[in-house]
Structure 1
Amino acid sequence: MQSNQSLFQGVWVPLVTPFSGGSVDGGALRRLVRHYAAAGVDGLVVCGSTGEAASLDDAEQLAVLDAVLAEAGRLPVVMGLAGNHQGHVLQRLSAFGTRPLAGILAPAPYYVRAGQEGAAAYFRCLADASRFPLVLYDIPYRTGTTLDTATLLALAAHPNIAAIKDCGGSLEKTVALIADGQMDVLAGEDLQSLSVLCLGGTGMIAAAAHIRPDLFVAMHRAVRGQRLDEARTLFHALAPVIQLVFGEPSPGPLKAQLAHQGLLSNELRLPMPQASSALAARLQAAVAGVERQFPLLTEGLRAA
C-alpha cells in the first residue's frame, strides 16, 4: 500500500485552459487557480487533455504553465507532456525543467502504437531525462496503446516514476498496481474515484472536481478518516454531475458550467465543440441539486 504522506495524494484538478477572443485568458486562469486553492485541493495539473493541450502550441503551453505557477504558491503543479516525436518531447521536457514543478504527467506516445516494449522505452527515456518525478498516464482510448499490467509493474521499479493516473479501464490492473505499492495510484476516471480510494489508491486527478471541488476534497478526507458512510453520501450526490460532465466531449460541459459560474468564457478551440444548450442546462440543474443538499464548504476547508 502507498504511504499517505506521498506528494501524489488527494484531489488534483486537471485545469481547463480559459480562452478569450481566441487567445489564452491569463486572468481567468489565475482566477481558477485561486478558486481551487481556496477549496483545499491538493494539486493542479496543467496542459492535460482537459486543458486542451493538443490545441496549444509550445509557447502557449509554457505561458499557461507560468501563469499557474505564478498564482499557485505552495500548491504543487504537474505539467502534461504528450507527443510521439521523441526529440520534440525531450526538448519540451528540457524547457519545463527550469520551472518549479512537482512532476510530469505523460501518456504513452499516441497514434504510432509502439507496443509494450516501445512504450516502456519511451517512458524510461523521459524518466531518465526529467528533473521531476514522472506520473504515467494510462489512457488507451486516447493513445491507442493499452499498457499491460506487467509493463506498468516493470516501469514502477524506475526510481523516477512515482505515480500513475489510472484510466486503463481494468479493475484487475488497478488492484495489481495498488497491491504492488511501488507507484502511487490516482484515479483518472471520476466515477471510479471512490472505489480507487477505498482500494488503497492515494487520490484522484478528477476533471469533475472543477465543480464543487470542496466536496471532492471532503470525500477524500472522509475516506482517509474511515468515515465511509459520509464518503458514499458525497459520492452519490456528485455522481450525476460527473456523468453529465462527460456526457459530451470534454471539456465542453465543464466550460459551460464554469462560464455559468462566472469563472471564464465558454470558449473552446476547434475541433473541441461547446456543450449543447440542453446538456448545459441539465448540468446546471444537477449542480443546483448538489448545492441544495450541500451548501458551500469552502470556508470550513480553509480552516481545516
Structure 2
Amino acid sequence: MSPLPIATAAVPAAAANHPNSPVFSGLWIALVTPFKDGAVDHPALAALTARLRAEGVSGFVACGSTGEAAALEKAEQLQVLETTLEAARDLPVVMGVSGYHQGQVLDQVQALACYPLAGLLVSAPHYIRPSQDGLLHWFRAIADASTVPVVIYDIPYRTGATLTPETLLALAAHPRIQAIKDCGGSTAKTQALIADGRLQVLTGEDAQIFNTLALGGAGAISACAHWQTPQFVELVGLLRGGDLPQARRTWQALQPWIEACFAEPNPAPLKAMLAHAGEMRNELRAPMMAASEALVQRLQAL
C-alpha cells in the first residue's frame, strides 16, 4: 500500500494548524486492529471504520494502545493507517506515535509527513521515566519535527512518566501542541487544563466521559464507543448542549457496558464483543490474551 496523497487530507491544512482547532473535539474512536490468522484483517478494519463513521463519530485514532500498536511492525502500522484513512473519508484521523528512542521516534514522525493526518497522538517515553525537563524536551522536539498538530497522550500508568500541570501548561505554549488525551488520573489537573483553555481536553478514560465534558472538556477518545456508538454520540451531544438530566439517563444506561469493557485488559473484552457481533475475529497478539469465557458470557448477556 502506498501513502495517500496529501491532497486528500481529511482536515484542511489551515484548520489543522490553527491554535485550538475545533477538530479535536467530540467523540473520537481509538480503533482496534482486527487480526485474521495472525495478520491484520484490513477488510474488517475498513468495514468497522465505515460503520463508525456512519454512526456519527467525530474522528479516529489509528495505532493507539487499543489498536495493539506495540504488537505491530512499523510497516503494519502504516498499512493500518492507510486503510483507516481510506475508510474514514472526510473524517479526521490521528496516528499514534510512541517509543523511548528519540531519534527513532523523530524518524517515525518524519515518515508520517506524507500522510493526510489531522494530528499525532504522542505519549511520553515509556520505561525511561525522565525528569519534567526531559519530558518538555521530548514533546517539543517531536512537535518541532511534525508537520501536523500534536495531541499529548498523558497516561502515566502505561509509560511510568507523570506530566505535571506545570509541564503541560508549558507545552501548551507550543503552536503545534493543541490537545491532550487525558488519562492522567487527576481531576485537578484536568480542571486546570480546561480552565487554561489552550489545549483541547479529550478524556481517554471512558469512565470519565461524563465528568470531563460536564467540566467543559472538548470530548473523548473512546474504546467503549465501538459498541453502542449512537448512544455515546448522543451522550456527547447532550453534554455539549448542556442537557444534563437527559445526559445522566443516557450515561447510566451505558454503565454496564463500560464496566464490562474494562473488566479485563483492553482491547480483549472489546474484541470479544465485536466478534460476537460478527465484525471481526476474536484474535489478539501475544502477550495479549482473549477475554475469559466468563466475561464473554457476561458481554453477550449485555
Counterpart in 2 of 1:267?
283
After superposition, what is the alpha-carbon deviation per residue over 1:134-184, rounded to whole angstroms, capped at 9, x for unaligned? 000000000000110100010011100000000000000000000000100
The yes-or-no answer on 1:10 pairing with 2:26 is: yes
Shift of 1:249: 0.8
Counterpart in 2 of 1:188?
204
2:108 to 76, 87, 92: 92
- For residues 133 and 242 of structure 1, the distance between their equivalents in structure 2, rounded to whole angstroms, comes to 30
Give the letter for the 1:278 counterpart: A
Counterpart in 1 of 2:7?
none
The yes-or-no answer on 1:203 pairing with 2:219 is: yes
1:156 to 153, 156, 172: 172
- For residues 101 and 25 of structure 2, the distance between their equivalents in structure 1, rounded to whole angstroms, comes to 30
After superposition, what is the alpha-carbon deviation per residue over 1:214-254, rounded to whole angstroms, capped at 9, x for unaligned? 11110011112221111111111111111111110110000
- For residues 246 and 222 of structure 1, the distance between their equivalents in structure 2, rounded to whole angstroms, comes to 24
Q: Is the 8 A contact 1:134 1:160 kept in 2?
A: yes
After superposition, what is the alpha-carbon deviation per residue over 1:11-33, rounded to whole angstroms, capped at 9, x for unaligned? 00000000000000000000011
Q: Is the 8 A contact 2:20 2:199 kept in 1?
A: no
Q: Is the 8 A contact 1:34 1:71 kept in 2?
A: yes
Compute the TM-score of the two structures, normalised by the length of structure 2: 0.92
Counterpart in 2 of 1:233?
249
Q: Is the 8 A contact 1:76 1:102 kept in 2?
A: yes
The yes-or-no answer on 1:135 pairing with 2:151 is: yes
Give the letter for the 1:283 counterpart: L
In structure 1, stretches of 5+ residues that fail to align are 287-304
Give the letter for the 2:40 counterpart: V
- For residues 73 and 93 of structure 1, the distance between their equivalents in structure 2, rounded to whole angstroms, comes to 22
Evaluate the alpha carbon distance shift between residue 266 and residue 11 of structure 1 in structure 2; reply closer, same or farther with a 3 A threshold. Answer: same
Give the letter for the 1:153 counterpart: L
Shift of 1:5: 6.8
Q: How many residue pairs end up in the alignment?
A: 284
Counterpart in 2 of 1:26?
42
Evaluate the alpha carbon distance shift between residue 231 and residue 4 of structure 1 in structure 2; reply closer, same or farther with a 3 A threshold. Answer: farther
The yes-or-no answer on 1:242 pairing with 2:267 is: no
The yes-or-no answer on 1:45 pairing with 2:83 is: no
Q: Is the 8 A contact 1:47 1:79 kept in 2?
A: yes
The yes-or-no answer on 1:145 pairing with 2:161 is: yes
Aligned-pair identity in percent equals: 55
- For residues 184 and 177 of structure 1, the distance between their equivalents in structure 2, rounded to whole angstroms, comes to 8
The yes-or-no answer on 1:75 pairing with 2:91 is: yes
Secondary structure (helix, strand or coil) at the match of 2:162 reads coil
Q: Is the 8 A contact 2:58 2:92 kept in 1?
A: yes
- For residues 35 and 5 of structure 1, the distance between their equivalents in structure 2, rounded to whole angstroms, comes to 26
Secondary structure (helix, strand or coil) at the match of 1:118 reads helix
Which 10-residue stretch deviates more, 230-239 or 98-107?
A: 230-239
- For residues 300 and 162 of structure 2, the distance between their equivalents in structure 1, rounded to whole angstroms, comes to 35
Structure 1 stretches (4+) deviating beyond 2 angstroms?
none
Secondary structure (helix, strand or coil) at the match of 1:163 reads strand
Give the letter for the 1:161 counterpart: I
- For residues 243 and 119 of structure 1, the distance between their equivalents in structure 2, rounded to whole angstroms, comes to 32
Shift of 1:4: 9.6
Q: Is the 8 A contact 1:4 1:202 kept in 2?
A: no
The yes-or-no answer on 1:105 pairing with 2:121 is: yes
- For residues 139 and 278 of structure 1, the distance between their equivalents in structure 2, rounded to whole angstroms, comes to 29
Shift of 1:284: 2.1
Secondary structure (helix, strand or coil) at the match of 2:22 reads coil
- For residues 106 and 145 of structure 1, the distance between their equivalents in structure 2, rounded to whole angstroms, comes to 13
The yes-or-no answer on 1:254 pairing with 2:261 is: no
- For residues 20 and 141 of structure 2, the distance between their equivalents in structure 1, rounded to whole angstroms, comes to 28
Compute the TM-score of the two structures, normalised by the length of structure 1: 0.92
